[in-house]
Amino acid sequence: MTAPRVLQEKKTIALVAHDHKKDDLIAWIGNNKEKLIPHQLVATGTTGKLIETHLGVDVHKVLSGPLGGDQQIGSMIANGQIDIVIFFWDPMEAQPHDSDVKALLRLGVVWNIPMACCPATADFLISSAYMASTYECQQTDYTAYLKRRIEP
């Protein structure tokens, strides 16, 4: 393990939802409005517009998921700019950008950030005492991986 990454009291939360899960995410956001407003919110295109309308707050919007938004959020995770991911993905329908979705979820695990993919897990996450305090997020030491010998 390397030195932990400290998640501050004000977290940066990525909010993502596939088309058939947007209503579920908006309903969940409505139920948790007071807990979300103190934090910085990031979302993919259409989802971000819906969140702004329902919460009345500014949301940092990246591209729509199929146009690269999932990859943009993945990059933000890898650069330490995202603290939490709430991603209501649709397990019942194939997405044209399934590889991007898998990559985003994979990066969340690689960088050990809290993630929720359904309302129940999101409820547990948002109600955690860590949401309003700092949290030391342990980070895996990837030095050996980065220094590995690459054969030509």
**Smallest Cα–Cα separation from 46: which of 16, 68, 88, 20?**
16
- φ/ψ region of 141 (left if φ > 0, alpha if ψ in -120 to 50, else beta) reads beta
Q: Residue 58 catalytic?
A: no
Amino acid at 137: C
Report how far residue 50's alpha carbon sits from residue 54's, in angstroms, rounded to the nearest whole number.
6
Phi, psi of 105 (to 5 degrees): -65, -40
Q: Which of 19, 23, 24, 70 is catalytic?
A: 70
Q: Which residues are catalytic?
A: 70
